[in-house]
Structure 1
């Protein structure tokens, strides 16, 4: 009986030792397998550095290109301003007709244009004739006005036609105008050689 109990105790102890050995062996294999993922976890941040390098390259190229083009456009805009100041140089010639006495039995000419009579004032001697020439492109009638009303009337003068009148009074002033436009006027001054004054004819 004692021998059988001892044998059973030995078998039980051997079984327990076997279980402990199996547990220790399986525990070692599990710790060894957990140590391998630790190395793979540290390699993950290496890919994040590659993305930061790619974002810095496009921004520097986009900012430098538009600045150069804006300065050349401003240079072209200022060029026409210098030419604008040199254009308005027009000369207005003041035509002054010198009133000089015309000898007797002579004929002087007064030309009618769209601007009026030229010359506007004539100083003549008695017996001098004046030929009124219509150089306008419209038919006009020239007649004496004011205190000289009724002295002469040209009638209708077509473009290019002329009317002549001889002033036989000794001295005086005759005013005339267009019958269709009283603002276009002229004056004839008849100056006597013997008298030092003029009177209204």
Structure 2
């Protein structure tokens, strides 16, 4: 009899092994939130490893992507798009400006309004980030068919919207809902080209 079995009076060796194997399970192994956090952590790590080659850190690429899509944004719009607080967006913009990735300009009539846009260097980084994200997404969704990809994206948007509403960050709920309707229309039409 092993020492571990001796420490568990009245238990057979099999019962002791079952109990110890249960103790090794992650705390939230049956939780959707736990699975989401683990997937997000792995995604962020994979993206972060690749961003290092661009002299960027995880999280900064989202600012670059948002600005690449919008062109010019106010700090408030950027914070709302990223669903972060304005000081968080401001801190990231300060770091990206120091790297020469973005430039800030105050509004001519109102110095309180700051507009941000990508520099030429930032535009080049945005193109590289796009390729990088596609590579990581291909890794993450390997084996998923187009319908599964659309469904997962829709479910994650809904979960994000629920949490944003609970936190009072409802800025993009209408845009997300419109994209959900587009996804449903594609599914109904049987369009598997868009994933």
TM-score range, shorter chain: under 0.3
- For the pair shown, the structure with the greater C-alpha radius of gyration is 1
Higher strand share: 1
Structure with larger RCO (C-alpha < 8 A, sep 6+): 2
Higher helix share: 2
- TM-score, structure 1 as length reference: 0.25
